[in-house]
Amino acid sequence: MLSGQATRVARATVRNCFSSPVQATRSYAVASSAAFSAVPSNHAHKVVVIGGGAAGLSVSHQLLRSGQFSQGDIAVIDPSTWHHYQPGWTLVGGGLKDKNDLRKPLAKLIDPKLKFHNDAVATFNPGDNSVTLRSGDKVMYEQLIVAPGIHVKYDSIKGLPEALADEAGLVSTIYGYDTCDKLARSVNQLKRGTAIFTQPSGIVKCAGAPQKAMWLAYDKWARAGLLRRGDRDASPIKISFATGLPVMFGVPKYSAKLEDLRRQRGVEGLFQHDLVEINGNEAVFAAPGGEKVTRHFDLLHAVPKMGPHQFVAQSPLANEVGLVDVDDATMQHKKYPNVWSLGDASSLPTSKTAAAITSQAPILVSNIMQMIDAKGKPLASYDGYTSCPITTSYGKVLLAEFVYGGKPKETFGKWIGIDQATPRRPFYYLKKDFFPWVYYKFMMKGQWAGPNGFNTRI
């Protein structure tokens, strides 16, 4: 929780909101334009962080703020030019944000005391505590943190890359910088027909995001008179939600609320339907029992499958599904004690969100410092905390917060005794305005710990 004056201010703000009637792609696979060294060389650092995304920058700056490291002791490795606030892409798809406002040059976000290797990883060599870069350079480490995120596999759906490239077509996805604004244009264009929103089975960044896109589109069409709330047959536009999951959401409490919302609004649920192909205006799904189901659409929001980067999946650090194999509580590698992982690339069995990283990073930093100091104390434990603010309309958000096992752990429920499964206006402004602001202003500088507030102890 927050402490001191920060607590009093935050609580007062939340209470005022509730009494009022109002309320990053950082792709590791994208190389920088910077020239690489022609002659391979060796570098040595106390801590090497793979990835300059939400996880990598949070943990590297928190380590730096500990005061225990000198210039160049900590290195960040990432080939990207831009760092993106990826949770904001849903807002872009809903017409609420400009995507250009949600990205910054990666190099400018990295503290000058950190060494930035603007290069890609070729191989991990945990046997000799080194990483080989694509340029051929070798980077030695005492402690290694692996946080390069995961890869969006556009070609996992046959025909999707071509459909996204068609500017006149109404196929979009919020899971990429180049395409997230296409959804808003498509929603504005559609006046009649069938709109299908999909969600894949398996690994996915922010499992609530596919629904966020759908509910914002629903609300826009309803306000324009193109949907009859709860009367699907009388609506000019008909919405279907096709998900590879058997339920609306992975946490029972929030799934029940979203299922009620789906029924009340007349949205068709196609459960255990995994999108595998787009052929013109037809979507092909893999359904239960091996059946292939083909559905016509006039608008399609498609979410590709996702998975680990190959340089992680094919390394000695990976588990059987290609994620970095770490302990669920300590985030320490199960085989190599000086290797750690957090965020989307890790095997931590919780939803892959920026909110999860706010809880993971301080614990991982504490544990690394314990290892470096060799005090022999027990390592701190992560309880699986994550959060997913689901926009259910323009002006309201269901704020899901939970830990391992799908157990709710609601910040505002503890503070002021409310049920966060009920969509509320103050949560909307947290999602739309507060979170993007705090992300770049504090989280990327190692000064924000999510529900625990401003990180003043580091």
Each residue's pLDDT tens digit, 313-330:
999 999 999 999 999 999
Q: What is the mean pLDDT of the chain?
A: 90
Please report the pLDDT score of residue 413 as a whole number: 87
pLDDT at 362: 96
Residue/partner pairs of 97-106 with CB below 8 Å, 24 or more apart: 97/432, 97/436, 99/177, 99/180, 99/181, 102/24, 102/436, 103/24, 103/177, 104/440, 105/81, 106/26, 106/32, 106/52, 106/78, 106/80, 106/81, 106/82
- Residue 19, pLDDT above cutoff 80: no
- Segment 241-245 mean pLDDT: 97
Any idea which of 207-211, 374-378, 438-442 has the lowest mean pLDDT?
Answer: 374-378
Q: Is the pLDDT of residue 233 over 90?
A: no
DSSP structure class, residue 431: I
CB 14 within 8 A of CB 399: no
Q: What's residue 415's pLDDT?
A: 83
Q: Which CATH number among 2.160.20.60, 3.50.50.60, 3.40.50.2300, 3.40.190.10 corresponds to the domain 160-307?
A: 3.50.50.60
Catalytic site residue from 388, 390, 398, 444: 388
Task: Kindly tell me if the per-residue pLDDT of 29 is higher than 90.
Answer: no
The residue ranges of DSSP E strands in 127-258, in sequence order, are 130-133, 138-146, 150-153, 171-172, 193-199, 237-243
The predicted-structure confidence for 33-91, as pLDDT tens digits, reads as follows 333 334 567 899 999 999 999 999 999 999 999 999 999 999 999 999 999 999 999 99
Per the annotation, the verdict on 17 as an active-site residue is no
Least confident of 27-31, 247-251, 301-305: 27-31
pLDDT for residue 220 is more than 80: yes
Residue 402: is its pLDDT beyond 70? yes
Contacts of 414 (CB under 8 A, 6+ apart): 1
**Coil, strand or helix: which one is 151?**
strand
pLDDT surpassing 50 at residue 458: no
- Backbone φ and ψ of 196, nearest 5°: -115, 130
Q: Do domains 42-150+308-383 and 160-307 have the same CATH topology?
A: yes
Contacts of 44 (CB under 8 A, 6+ apart): 139, 140, 141
Rounded Cα gap, residues 444 and 378, in angstroms:
28
In 3D space, the residue among 269, 293, 271 whose CA is nearest the CA of residue 283 turns out to be 293
Type and span of the H or E element at 45? strand 42-50
> Looking at domain 42-150+308-383, which of 3.40.50.300, 3.50.50.60, 3.30.9.10, 3.20.10.10 is its CATH number?
3.50.50.60
Is 193 in contact with 186 (CB distance < 8 Å)? no
Confidence category of residue 146, pLDDT binned at 50, 70, 90: very high
Longest dimension (CA), the chain: 68
- In this predicted structure, the answer to whether residue 400 has a pLDDT above a threshold of 70 is yes
d(CA 163, CA 115): 40
pLDDT for the residue numbered 456: 52
Query: Residue 424: pLDDT above 50?
Result: yes
Q: What is the pLDDT of residue 21?
A: 29
Angle 57-62-67 from CA coordinates, rounded to 5°: 135
Give the E-state strand segments of 363-414 in sequence order: 386-393, 396-403, 407-408
Confidence category of residue 230, pLDDT binned at 50, 70, 90: confident
pLDDT > 90: percent of the chain: 84
180 is catalytic: no
Residues 254-291 have pLDDT tens digits of: 999 999 999 999 999 999 999 999 999 999 999 998 89
Write down the catalytic residue from 54, 75, 160, 206. 206
Contacts with 68 (C-beta within 8 Å, 6 or more apart), sequence order: 369, 372
- Domain positions in the chain: 42-150+308-383, 160-307
Q: What is the average pLDDT across 400-423? A: 94
Tokens describing residue 302: 């498609």
Q: With 90 as the cut, is the pLDDT of residue 455 above it?
A: no
pLDDT band at 378, cuts 50/70/90? confident
Quick check: 241 and 267 in contact, CB under 8 A? yes
Distance from C-alpha of 224 to C-alpha of 363, rounded to nearest angstrom? 47
